[in-house]
Structure 1
């Protein structure tokens, strides 16, 4: 077995029965990712087949998935939605070098591999493989699982997954079935948890570590006013629910560990076939008008006595977000940083636009008020039809920000006619409630903030593609540039439009 003297000590887990083995398989499946190789050892009857089937079925989210033994084929491929997985049985392999003929490197380039009888290829498997041994005991279905890690972050990932399992158990969800749930672009991870007819969402969000200082000795996340742990989510959730908005109920929380168990609001979407559903977007605009009619606090006290101070969406935050365009998009396209002249003109232009909004009304900006975070609930009425999620980065800023997030949705193309209809209906609802509502100022701020948001997200999606290895986000770029062009047509943005005309990479 590959286990160097410098490797962490083996982790030993006692499995009381077959159900414990099935749960362990789910715990591993939740943290598996492309490039991973799991080397599964054990004598005949030790439970390798039981664990392998459970792991593959958890990845497929299909408890009835047929999992044939690859004993004679050596490799059984699976094209799962998350990523492909290869199930290998090397019992009949005679030479470790044959692993190359099977194409393991290619398998790991796109997906993961579960390898039984890995000792037949010892020395030929990746150094960061997870080695796992199952052993039978004298106590019927009881087993002992031992994990060996030489390189990579397996120890950290497994520890986090096992901690989430303990959190679920302590919250009264013992033996919960865990399934991966597609999350957002952040480091947060989501799962569904199910016990019988009960189901919920488990949020796995460890405290954000400080990144390198980028300005005035502060990391980007602090300047941009991004949530650093789950407490802001809990606080904003509490306030939204108290005012009748459909944020998820929180069933259990361990804020220190970064675990939340929250209500599953469903899977209803505000888009269909990649296009916005106009009625549902109109309902989202109406909800914003109601939300902006509320008097939101600057501080929210949590049940444990902690106080969350809702940060201001101030000049520093707005500017560092806009500058993501300079920091990531410009050098990615041109191969060089923006010139000193271009960078100075960019900052001057955006500072003048921020000045224009100095006197604008302020409210809570949920900050990512767009299609992935709006859950349509057809059976409900009024604002209860829209479930709200992903609001932990809420700030106090100009009213137009969330309207811009909705009407220029970064993930789905909103036709210009629908965009204008959304803004018009929002304005009409605000004017009904308040005869002094400044519609012209709102439209000006909307143009500024929609241009700012497009500029920021162009930078973010470039960063996700180049730094984080997520090139899929680049597919949204044409939409973002089209939105930016729309917004720059407003007279208030004439000066910054000249910057994009002159300096923006073509």
Structure 2
């Protein structure tokens, strides 16, 4: 166990007033970050180990501070050492929304409504001082599908045509994300914590940008890691739109961003398998592919849908990514 602890941890905990605490490793995520629960008697905290040069805790700290200043439930920071990549944060407990709903399925609708209400509150705040979710970023993310998925299934695709199709699909949307809202980018049931006070806590928000209000809704309601029924998805969209004047093009933009995000995720999950040896992510691809196919049916996605028809053989699409497993 000692070999796996972050360098300089004892000194860091001593300075933070947590010297001599028990250190328990926790499951990580798809990055180089690691997490530990720190226990000292009745009190506990979470340690994030974001080792440089692969990781930088600065964005997490900066975005978290902005969220807290604007009344959103990010974890409090007990201590930080940016140079070593160590951050001691408030312990939100062990009730992730995804796991909790496995044990409390009757609370699904109410829990999702609360998550939608948190997004409405976030969108009512001024956009944060974060980079724009611009076309270059959308294109770079969408390009992960031809870059990683296509060679993994043994096909050659028209990369230039793919990029041109996304330009045609996304360009009409860009004016509707100006001035935009803060987009957490990974807002889903594994990154929402259900707190003891009945509120929902936010984690994994370090990649926040300023973009379209539909993006985090797509992230939540077309969850790569948890089944969200089409009925629940529609009910939550209705709940959001009953409270927000989102404009006549909102559902088209929701489909645009759903397709873009799901194409990106397919590429990321294949990359995690091929590059990082994390084959378990392949098991999520059929769910993501199903959502992608639904999004592609929207008329706003016609150029991208035509590219898929011309470049991804139907027998491959029918397996929903299953041919990789």
Normalising to structure 2: TM-score of the pair?
Answer: 0.91
SS at match of 2:153: helix
CA contact (8 A) 1:286 1:429 kept: no
* Counterpart position of 2:290: 482
* Counterpart position of 1:291: 122
Cα 1:175–1:387 shift into 2, 3 Å: same
CA deviation digits over 1:29-70, x for unaligned, max 9?
A: xx2xxxxxxxxxxxxxxxxxxxxxxxxxxxxxxxxxxxxxxx
Max radius of gyration: which structure? 1
Give the 4+ runs in structure 1 shifted more than 3 A: none
**Alpha-carbon separation, structure 1, partners of 2:52 and 2:238:** 40
**Alpha-carbon separation, structure 2, partners of 1:178 and 1:250:** 18
SS at match of 1:399: coil
* Counterpart position of 1:503: 311
> Structure 1 stretches of 5 or more lacking a match?
1-25, 32-157, 210-227, 299-309, 432-436
* Counterpart position of 2:221: 407
**Alpha-carbon separation, structure 1, partners of 2:109 and 2:29:** 24
**Alpha-carbon separation, structure 1, partners of 2:66 and 2:249:** 28
How do 1:383-422 residues align onto structure 2 when only pairs under 5 Å count?
Answer: 385-422=199-236
**Alpha-carbon separation, structure 2, partners of 1:486 and 1:202:** 39
Normalized per residue, the structure richer in strand is 1
User: Is residue 248 from structure 1 mapped to residue 79 from structure 2 by the alignment?
Assistant: no
* Counterpart position of 1:330: 150
**Alpha-carbon separation, structure 2, partners of 1:375 and 1:175:** 27
CA deviation digits over 1:224-250, x for unaligned, max 9?
A: xxxx51111111111111122111000
What is the Cα deviation at residue 164 of structure 1? 2.0
**Alpha-carbon separation, structure 2, partners of 1:372 and 1:203:** 17
What is the Cα deviation at residue 485 of structure 1? 1.0
User: Is residue 443 from structure 1 mapped to residue 251 from structure 2 by the alignment?
Assistant: yes
Give me the CA root mean square deviation.
1.6
Normalized per residue, the structure richer in helix is 2
User: Is residue 452 from structure 1 mapped to residue 279 from structure 2 by the alignment?
Assistant: no
CA contact (8 A) 2:169 2:303 kept: no
**Alpha-carbon separation, structure 2, partners of 1:270 and 1:203:** 20
**Alpha-carbon separation, structure 1, partners of 2:260 and 2:10:** 41
CA deviation digits over 1:382-405, x for unaligned, max 9?
A: xxx110000000011111111100
* Counterpart position of 2:271: 463
User: Is residue 268 from structure 1 mapped to residue 103 from structure 2 by the alignment?
Assistant: no
> Structure 2 stretches of 5 or more lacking a match?
317-325
CA contact (8 A) 2:13 2:19 kept: yes
* Counterpart position of 2:321: none
Name which of 348, 351, 365 aligns with 2:183: 365
What is the Cα deviation at residue 472 of structure 1? 0.4
Name which of 164, 173, 178 aligns with 2:9: 164
**Alpha-carbon separation, structure 1, partners of 2:53 and 2:253:** 31
Normalising to structure 1: TM-score of the pair?
Answer: 0.59
Name which of 42, 47, 58 aligns with 1:197: 42
Name which of 28, 34, 51 aligns with 1:183: 28
